[in-house]
Amino acid sequence: MPAPQCASCHKARAALRRPCSGQALCGTCFCAAFEAEVLHTVVAGRLLPGAVVAVGASGGKDSTVLAHVLRELAPRLGISLQLVAVDEGIGGYRDAALAAVRRQAARWELPLTVVAYEDLFGGWTMDAVARSTAGSGRSRSCCTFCGVLRRRALEEGARLVGATHVVTGHNADDMAETVLMNFLRGDAGRLARGGGLGSPGEGGALPRCRPLQLASQKEVVLYAHFRRLDYFSEECVYAPEAFRGHARHLLKLLEAARPSAVLDLVHSAERLALAPAARPPPPGACSRCGALASRALCQACALLDGLDRGRPRLAIGKGRRGRDEGGTPREPGRVRTPVPEAVPTF
Ligand SMILES: [Zn+2]
Ligand SMILES: [Zn+2]
């Protein structure tokens, strides 16, 4: 049976059915619809004219699609873009991913800045963190450390390039997994903070926005395919966070029964409001680095503090102790002003 006609232009043959709506579209009309939907999310997330936007670039499919779409939309939005990549110090993995980011920056003529954990966090690379926490049966700790540190590194990189906003490539599937995990852990504070289209930038942090948060992973992959985008698709060498894997599996089962389950979960989180008694106390400032913190130290400083004492503790969830197995940093872990590797590409 030949493919049906595109439901939008009524000229070309359809190349796909949109996973959520079932609408049959040609590649051109799909890409236009995808971009229009991201534009809508971005406007709702208050990326206003004049914004200098730091795009968290990892070389992976999500951030590649994000950078490409924002570059298409930038003239209409009146924003300028800066790619900021984080070098976590993961031997054999990050080098290839950073090479993909460099190719993108060169092709799209976007300025690229790379910030490294090693420079920012007192000599700690992700490989050193992994060595230090190995063998303690804490499979999720690597991803937990990395998530906290990457968020901080991206913020530092964004400040370095004079950005007014930070955008990240989280798609609807990532968001829905996070919502499920927070529900399953009973983490009401995170549920409440994680909703919405980003954070307005409390306590001096830069405002954040997730332009792809209503785009499903399948559509992100389709967009990359039709736009012929070159991205790096290998998984990180460290085991993915175990609990997220379960949430992902559960979500796939839900989606098979109800195709809108992913977006339904994302929208549910947006509309959640916490009862006054469940609201976390207003955050203060980290006593070490001044970043937003709900305790004396912010999450990044607390993790680095634990590493430096050879007793990695997780600031997220229940604190657990690990063994001291090397990974000696050059100096006490401290969030420092980075030494940038600015790569102007034109
Ligand atoms: Zn069409
Ligand atoms: Zn701090």
Is beta strand 284-285 parallel, antiparallel or unpaired with respect to 52-56?
unpaired
Query: Residues within 5 Å of ion ligand 1 by Cβ?
Result: 6, 8-9, 12, 26, 29
Ranges of each domain in the chain? 27-275
Instruction: Quick: pLDDT tens for 187-207.
Output: 877 777 766 656 666 667 899
The Cα 178–Cα 332 span in angstroms is 32
The Cα 252–Cα 237 span in angstroms is 23
CA–centroid distance, residue 307 to ligand 2 (Å)? 14
CA–centroid distance, residue 28 to ligand 1 (Å)? 6
Instruction: Give the ligand with the smallest distance to the CA of 297.
Output: 2
Tell me: domain 27-275, CATH 3.40.50.2000, correct? no
State the binding site for ATP: 56-58, 62, 86, 169, 174
The Cα 145–Cα 132 span in angstroms is 12
CA–centroid distance, residue 10 to ligand 1 (Å)? 6
Is 0.85 topped by the overall pTM? no
CA distance readout (Å), 66 to 35, 120, 148, 230: 10, 25, 21, 13
Instruction: Quick: pLDDT tens for 277-332.
Output: 666 666 788 888 888 787 888 888 888 888 888 755 544 443 333 333 333 333 44
CA distance readout (Å), 3 to 7, 12, 34, 153, 221: 11, 10, 21, 47, 21
At residue 171 the predicted structure's pLDDT band, cuts being 50, 70 and 90, is: very high
| DSSP H or E segment with residue 154 | helix 141-160
The Cα 260–Cα 37 span in angstroms is 16
